[in-house]
Chain A
Amino acid sequence: DGGITQSPKYLFRKEGQNVTLSCEQNLNHDAMYWYRQDPGQGLRLIYYSQIVNDFQKGDIAEGYSVSREKKESFPLTVTSAQKNPTAFYLCASSSMDRGRKTQYFGPGTRLLVL
């Protein structure tokens, strides 16, 4: 089945620790995105990538880092510099062809700080 997978479903971080969230897609989409959702809020863009080996900061990139070494994968690292990382993290992908460019989302990862 085509789709987007995220792992783990739940992640616990200790103070001062870096953690990496996985996002994989087999939709052959060029673009991938990371969003953060806080309780009762909409989604805010952290980073996005339109092509392999290139990525751009979104609205709230501080304390996060990404890589895009393969078209299928776009991992997000939450660094110790992110002081309030507890949130729900959603990964998405889209085609960049002309047209809707609809973003399709994975199931998400809930990050909690111990």
Chain B
Amino acid sequence: AQKITQTQPGMFVQEKEAVTLDCTYDTSDPSYGLFWYKQPSSGEMIFLIYQGSYDQQNATEGRYSLNFQKARKSANLVISASQLGDSAMYFCAMREDGPKGANNLFFGTGTRLTVIP
């Protein structure tokens, strides 16, 4: 089974509007971390936001917020006030904090966001 599922291959949003990118995950570990990365056309993966499984509040970083619904195993990224520079691929990833302690990430297939002027 896929550990990370991103069901939206592509999304469009009007400039200055908000957009939600979906991510669901699958794990039996009680302790895990969820990450969102942005990949512009240059290829570099840029870290955006992190949510720990025990965090009581949803994470926020500037215009990025993470809508964490633990019971539904979802970790959707919300981008507010979209800008043209937000056009990129967005990847959701998960780290399982198992007994081995490895910091390996499992990635989804990504969502291509296009911001329309």
What 3 A-B pairs have minimum CB-CB distances, sorted nearest first?
Answer: A42-B107, A105-B45, A108-B43
Residues of B within 8 A of A31 (CB): 103
**Do A100 and B33 touch across chains, with their CB atoms under 8 A apart?**
yes
**Do B103 and A103 touch across chains, with their CB atoms under 8 A apart?**
yes
**Do A96 and B103 touch across chains, with their CB atoms under 8 A apart?**
yes
Q: Does B109 contact A (CB under 8 A)?
A: yes
Give the dominant DSSP class at A's interface: strand
Residues of B within 8 A of A (CB): 4, 33, 35, 37, 42-47, 50, 52, 91, 93, 95, 101-105, 107-110
Given contacts A90-B45, A105-B45, A48 and B102 within 8 Å (CB-CB): yes
Residues of A within 8 A of B109 (CB): 40-42
Q: Does A27 contact B (CB under 8 A)?
A: no
Residues of A within 8 A of B44 (CB): 105-108
Contacting B at CB under 8 A, from A27-57, are 31, 33, 40-45, 48, 50, 56
Q: Mark A82-114, 1 if CB is under 8 A from B, else 0.
A: 000000101010101000111111111010000
B66 CB to nearest A CB, Å:
13
Q: Does A8 contact B (CB under 8 A)?
A: no
**Do A42 and B103 touch across chains, with their CB atoms under 8 A apart?**
no
**Do A103 and B50 touch across chains, with their CB atoms under 8 A apart?**
no
B25 CB to nearest A CB, Å:
13
Residues of A within 8 A of B110 (CB): 40-42
**Do A94 and B103 touch across chains, with their CB atoms under 8 A apart?**
yes
**Do B105 and A56 touch across chains, with their CB atoms under 8 A apart?**
no
Residues of B within 8 A of A88 (CB): 43
Residues of A within 8 A of B91 (CB): 42-43
Query: How far is A90 from B47 in the complex, measured between Cα atoms in Å?
Result: 14
**Do B42 and A103 touch across chains, with their CB atoms under 8 A apart?**
no
Q: List 8 A-B contacts (CB under 8 A).
A: A31-B103, A40-B109, A41-B110, A42-B109, A42-B110, A56-B102, A103-B103, A104-B47
